[in-house]
């Protein structure tokens, strides 16, 4: 410490190290200090001068324009830039990632408007427009793919998962804080939340309305379009018995009948669109459509409308459908020249359709061959190798399995297709109804369509990501899978030695082909009875998904009596786990309805139980009352 620093410490700083205000410093001390400094600093503020000598540095220069950097205060020193707007924004991370100067202005203006709003001041129409119009642009910067990938990569390197919030320790810590603060695992379960819920909902509605003009997210055009496309893709639009009958009738008369269809002429999702005669059809069978077209000049209609609006919320909605929505559709079609037909009873539609002759049969192939998307399969394995996974992951990585296992996996679907011309046409029409490109329907779409259309559910997939999540958490050296099945779990254990076994010889041979295609060499294959077979090599963990008794169909016949089936399961556990000294961990995925009985066969202590898959579904591909559970046991 030099003389001037000693002077500063003794006379200009408080005991806690803060700078004294100039008016507190005695005049003679102030004059003495000013006489000690370099004259070139006389034009600077007192705090900056003291900071320069205390830190024993020269004034800092901006790395962008070389001007002196802006001085903030004694406690924090210099800013990162000179304070010039361009230099200030150039220093921001977003700018360095390619944010343009124009977008930087968007970010700045957005911040000003939001800040003003938070201070309770009324926004001008221009400021409100800034918030609404730039929201998505700013969201794009914050949620850019590069930024998201970098965050995921960092989390994977540090914690082994793509998001720190997926770590069990972090989740448990959060639940612990909630229990301490609110007495429940989750804040939404607490009495505090229940008391404030109405206030929160009202605030959410108000905020959303300011942003979008709607009170609920589902009311936005974007949400409606997304829901519409997803329902069309999955074939999950709710339909009445009469609508199902109408569809069966129409496909007998016409070759191309699309469902929930819209175009520029008729931008509403109509019940049916018949491409053969370019006609839109609305089945207004439900009472909310009034049982006949609304006539604003009909006094009986006006009286009925008045009565509907006076009854309740649902009747009020029905009144709007009858008097506003339906007439709007008719008028839109009239103005665009679209041919629209509205039927108010199934009988009306039957009489109209009877004027058309039954169509000729559609020329369809006699057998189906799943087309292999090799590029998709390679993308999937790359993703499985490079990215993290967790037990909540959805089904992923099935392209190679669909192709190489098609003779077994889709055996029943192919048999049904070949055995019935009527079924072929029904499935083809179903896929035509829900695709945007009916002329490009592939065999793969038809094979998958058996499940989506509800004709036949068939076999189910297992997510390799669940296996990878187990591998990441427990780090096994060798893993044995007594029910290797289609090969999903092999794709999850890419960093461990995997011992595959399955009683189905054809499935086993096909998994070998998958391993060869992906150049997976850390695997060995067996085609044995799991109740009698124990691999010779030592392995430290078992990870499998046994048959779900009679909940699914299987390519190999199993025991049909439940008691005998549980005894069979006990023999599997004994052969693979109980009598194998090297194996300490037993993990299996099972349907929740079978859990209690199957757990009794496992020796040791249960260390983990987690529901796999998303809340919306599991590897059955559909929402179920009972989910699928991953149970992990370790020997005592």
The encoded tokens of residue 608 equal 């983990």
Instruction: Write 67-76 long-range contacts (CB < 8 A, 24+).
Output: 71/44, 71/45, 71/47, 73/47, 74/18, 74/19, 74/47, 74/50, 75/18, 75/19
Which residues does 70 contact at the CB level (< 8 Å), separation at least 6?
78, 79, 81, 82, 83
Helices (H) and strands (E) in the chain, counts: 27, 13
What is the reported pLDDT for 152?
A: 82
Are residues 95 and 89 in contact, defined by beta-carbon separation less than 8 angstroms?
yes
pLDDT at 117: 47
| 222 C-beta neighbours (distance < 10 Å), count | 9
Q: Residue 27's pLDDT is what?
A: 81
- Tell me the sheet residues that pair with 525: 500
Residues of the chain with CATH 3.40.50.150: 464-634
pLDDT at 622: 42
Nearest to 492 by CA among 630, 397, 409: 397
Cβ neighbours, 10 Å, residue 111? 12
What's residue 131's pLDDT? Answer: 54
The answer, as to whether pTM is greater than 0.85, is no
Domain 239-353 -> CATH class:
alpha beta
- Which residues belong to CATH 3.40.1350 in the chain? 239-353
Q: Give the model's pLDDT for residue 97.
A: 44
Residues 464-634: name the CATH superfamily.
Vaccinia Virus protein VP39 (3.40.50.150)
252 burial level (CB within 10 Å; 0-12, 13-18, 19+): middle
> Which residue ranges in the chain fall short of pLDDT 50?
91, 93-100, 116-120, 438, 615-625
Burial class (CB in 10 A: 0-12, 13-18, 19+), 441: middle
pLDDT at residue 54, as a whole number: 85
- Asked if 426 contacts 509 with a C-beta cutoff of 8 angstroms, the reply is no
Rounded to the nearest 10 degrees, how much is the dihedral formed by the CA atoms of 589, 591, 596, 598? -60
The Cα 495–Cα 179 span in angstroms is 38
| Interval 513-572: pLDDT, tens | 999 999 999 999 999 999 999 999 999 999 999 988 766 655 555 556 888 889 999 999
Least Cα distance to 193 among 205, 175, 177, 181 occurs for: 181
67/84 Cα distance (integer angstroms): 10
Per the CB < 8 A criterion, the answer to whether 465 and 384 are in contact is: yes
């Amino acid at each position: 410490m030099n003389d001037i620093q000693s002077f500063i410490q003794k006379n200009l700083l408080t005991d806690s190290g803060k700078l004294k205000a100039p008016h507190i410093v005695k005049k003679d001390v102030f004059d003495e200090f000013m006489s000690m400094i370099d004259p070139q600093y006389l034009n600077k503020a007192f705090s900056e001068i003291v900071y320069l000598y205390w830190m024993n540095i020269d004034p800092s220069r901006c790395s962008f324009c070389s001007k002196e950097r802006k001085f903030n205060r004694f406690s924090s020193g210099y800013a990162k830039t000179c304070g010039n707007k361009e230099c200030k924004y150039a220093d921001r991370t977003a700018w360095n990632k390619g944010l343009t100067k124009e977008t930087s202005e968007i970010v700045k203006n957005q911040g000003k408007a939001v800040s003003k709003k938070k201070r309770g001041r009324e926004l001008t129409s221009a400021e409100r427009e800034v918030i609404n119009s730039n929201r998505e642009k700013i969201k794009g910067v914050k949620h850019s793919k590069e930024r998201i990938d970098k965050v995921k990569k960092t989390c994977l390197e540090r914690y082994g998962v793509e998001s720190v919030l997926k770590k069990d320790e972090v989740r448990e810590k959060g639940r612990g804080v909630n229990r301490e603060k609110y007495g429940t695992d989750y804040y939404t379960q607490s009495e505090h939340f229940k008391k404030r819920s109405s206030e929160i909902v009202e605030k959410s509605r108000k905020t959303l309305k300011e942003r979008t003009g709607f009170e609920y997210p589902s009311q936005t055009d974007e949400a409606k379009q997304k829901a519409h496309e997803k329902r069309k893709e999955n074939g999950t639009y709710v339909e009445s018995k009469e609508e199902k009958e109408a569809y069966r009738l129409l496909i007998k008369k016409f070759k191309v009948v699309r469902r929930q269809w819209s175009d520029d002429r008729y931008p509403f999702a109509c019940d049916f669109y018949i491409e053969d005669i370019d006609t839109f059809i609305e089945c207004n069978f439900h009472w909310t459509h009034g049982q006949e077209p609304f006539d604003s000049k009909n006094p009986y209609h006006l009286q009925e409308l008045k009565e509907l609006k006076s009854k309740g919320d649902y009747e009020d909605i029905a009144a709007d459908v009858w008097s506003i929505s339906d007439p709007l559709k008719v008028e839109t079609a009239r103005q665009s020249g679209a041919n629209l037909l509205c039927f108010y009873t199934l009988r009306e539609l039957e009489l109209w359709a009877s004027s058309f002759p039954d169509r000729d049969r559609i020329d369809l192939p006699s057998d189906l061959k799943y087309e292999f998307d090799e590029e998709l399969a390679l993308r999937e394995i790359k993703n499985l190798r490079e990215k993290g996974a967790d037990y909540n992951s959805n089904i992923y990585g099935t392209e190679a399995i669909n192709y190489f296992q098609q003779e077994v996996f889709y055996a029943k679907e192919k048999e049904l297709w070949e055995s019935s011309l009527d079924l072929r046409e029904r499935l083809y029409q179903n896929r035509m109804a829900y695709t945007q490109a009916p002329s490009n329907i592939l065999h793969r779409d038809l094979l998958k369509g058996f499940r989506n259309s509800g004709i036949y559910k068939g076999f189910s997939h297992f997510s390799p990501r669940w296996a990878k999540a187990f591998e990441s958490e427990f780090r096994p050296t060798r893993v044995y899978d007594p029910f290797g099945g289609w090969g999903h779990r092999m794709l999850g254990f890419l960093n461990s030695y995997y011992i595959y076994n399955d009683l189905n010889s054809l499935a086993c041979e096909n998994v070998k082909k998958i391993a060869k295609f992906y150049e997976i060499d850390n695997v060995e294959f067996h085609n044995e009875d799991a109740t009698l077979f124990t691999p010779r090599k030592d392995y430290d963990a078992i990870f499998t998904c046994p048959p779900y008794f009679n909940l699914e169909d299987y390519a190999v016949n199993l025991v049909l009596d439940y008691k005998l089936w549980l005894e069979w399961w006990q023999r599997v556990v004994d052969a693979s786990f109980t009598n194998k000294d090297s194996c300490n961990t037993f993990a299996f995925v099972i349907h929740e309805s079978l859990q209690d009985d199957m757990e009794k066969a496992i020796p040791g202590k249960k260390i983990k139980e987690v529901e796999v898959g998303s809340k919306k579904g599991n590897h059955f591909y559909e929402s179920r009352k009972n989910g699928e559970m991953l149970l992990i046991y370790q020997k005592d």
